Structure 1
Amino acid sequence: MVNLEHGKYYVADINYVNYTIRVVDPGVEKGNCFSAPLYSLTREIFRSDKRAYFLNPHEATNTTVLMNCEQPISDGNYIPITPCNRSNVTSSSSQAYVYALVGGGDSLLVNDIKYSCTISRTIITQFLKPGNLSMSDLQEILLQGLDISFLPFRCKSECHVKGPYCDLDWTKNTVKWYSFGYWFSEYLESLRDRSTFSSNGVRERYNYYYHYETALYLGWIIRYI
């Protein structure tokens, strides 16, 4: 099992070519009713400075919410859910209706949630094209799991050996190394915008893992020359 922010997930597969781990929520089971995930899984987990794994920005995913509603919803985008264990998805007897809503992209808007509904889970899934989806469609994609990447760890470890100026190529799932001149020109370009000037900010934006903080201060001086 692998430990993410809110709990432990089953490891369904490890791909050492693409540097991915496929994780499955332990609450999801195959059946005629809907076994709800035990944990919420949001993008913020993979954006945190303390993150252990990453989402490939070039892999399409959906944000899906499970909701408890006080009234029936007549909206084709709302997927009626028959939970195996109602206590896992609702804490109120007045919220008798359970629905899932699959976002068309990375997120959902507040306006997408009906007034009588409250969110019980927010989860990231492999891509599903929204519209005309059934409970079994959602159950199947949850059973398949979610691919998360450990590619940046290769960059961090190999840069200690091959040099500090590296970048991630997410499209090919590889690490690229640059000369100091190329890296430094790209770095100076980032300094045109003051809002990007910070050690952590530049690293996050370009995925560089470097050791020479001298370059950071030198770039700051050069921008005013």
Structure 2
Amino acid sequence: MSIYQVLLLILVLFLAMTSNVELSDRQCTSSCGDIHNIRYPFRLRSDPKRCGDSKYKLTCEDNHTVLHFRDGRYYVQSINYSTHQIRLIDNGLQKDNCSSLPSHSRASWALYNSKIFYDPNNPYYMARGGLLIIVNFSKPVSSLLYIATAPCIEGSNSFNTSSNWNLYALINPKALDVKDFCTISRWTWVSIDFGDKEQINSSSYNYERIHNIMADGFDPTFFCFFDFYSIYKGHQGCRSFLYTGGKHRLTMKFYRNFA
């Protein structure tokens, strides 16, 4: 058999396998609430086991598509299969209620610092975006870096019984920005990449604007494509790009075929 015949045979097998995968993909399409066309690599918990990838499992709760990721619960707002992005909103946030807060607590802050988005087993990554935290202070702070949450949120009505506590928002904080006399209360990712040049302080951002940014959600990226070798071996190949230190690091993964 000549090399051309071998290549032709490989091409025919490749097209046949990808056609079967596409057919299975269409048969596994689901919907929940406003999210239609839930398909590979995603799957609903109620879908047949052959559908989707278990690492991208979603649930349908009270007509909301929900992603449970580590210790968080997020509402899925959209899935873009062209850009490989899923828009998520912390389930504690409400768009028209500036007193609503992210559900991520101080306890989960340590998990964030462990760089869960850099975990090789994590199927999502944040290529761009920022971080917003809500902090409690035992006394007022005059620094422009701290954006007061009042009148949307009063410390005495949220985390503490004492009115001596003061709540502030911090954008993309550094370790030195979190002072000794404060505690981290809530935090969330946001889709806006504030950058280094923009002046992020209370003179340009009030808390209502900050809350709207949080309530708009964030866009982690999933990246899944067919890898010829893995298809040849009877698997479907997914690869996750992990974002570290301003550079993209590629981690190759092979997952079992859903068929």
TM-score in terms of structure 2 length: 0.54
Q: Mapping of 1:47-196 within 5 angstroms?
A: 47-56=118-127, 59=128, 61-82=129-150, 83-84=152-153, 90-91=159-160, 93=162, 95-103=164-172, 108-127=173-192, 128=194, 129=198, 130-131=200-201, 132-151=204-223, 153-154=224-225, 160-161=230-231
Q: 1:169 to 1:72 in 2, by over 3 A?
A: closer
Quote the Cα distance in structure 2 between the aligned partners of 1:165 and 1:11. 24
Q: 1:50 to 1:206 in 2, by over 3 A?
A: closer
Q: Which moved more, 1:64-73 or 1:90-99?
A: 90-99
Please state how far the C-alpha of 1:49 moved relative to its aligned partner. 3.6
The match for 1:36 is 101
Please state how far the C-alpha of 1:168 moved relative to its aligned partner. 7.1
Q: Secondary structure at the match of 1:142?
A: helix
Q: Which runs of 4+ in 1 moved over 4 A?
A: 83-89, 162-170
Q: Secondary structure at the match of 2:95?
A: coil
Quote the Cα distance in structure 2 between the aligned partners of 1:158 and 1:150. 19
For the 8 Å contact 1:65–1:119, the answer to whether it is kept is: yes
The match for 1:46 is 117
Please state how far the C-alpha of 1:159 moved relative to its aligned partner. 5.1
For the 8 Å contact 2:74–2:89, the answer to whether it is kept is: yes
Residue deviations 1:106-158, cap 9 Å, x none? Answer: xx33221233211112322122442321111111111111101111x336x66
Quote the Cα distance in structure 2 between the aligned partners of 1:19 and 1:92. 44
For the 8 Å contact 1:3–1:9, the answer to whether it is kept is: yes
Aligned length: 169
Please state how far the C-alpha of 1:22 moved relative to its aligned partner. 0.2
Q: 1:94 to 1:147 in 2, by over 3 A?
A: same
Residue deviations 1:86-105, cap 9 Å, x none? Answer: 589524526521001102xx
Q: Secondary structure at the match of 2:252?
A: coil
Percentage of identical aligned residues: 27
Contiguous gaps of at least 5 residues in structure 2: 1-65, 243-247
Residue deviations 1:39-97, cap 9 Å, x none? Answer: 257372212243232222xx2x1222210011111111111013558589524526521
Q: Secondary structure at the match of 1:121?
A: strand
Q: 1:93 to 1:140 in 2, by over 3 A?
A: same
Q: 1:118 to 1:158 in 2, by over 3 A?
A: farther
Please state how far the C-alpha of 1:19 moved relative to its aligned partner. 0.8
User: Would you tell me which structure has more helix in proportion to its own residues?
Assistant: 1
**Letter paired with 1:143:** A
* Larger RCO, structure (CA 8 Å, separation 6 or more): 1
Q: 1:158 to 1:63 in 2, by over 3 A?
A: farther
Please state how far the C-alpha of 1:30 moved relative to its aligned partner. 3.0
Task: Name the Cα RMSD after superposition.
Answer: 3.4
The match for 1:4 is 69
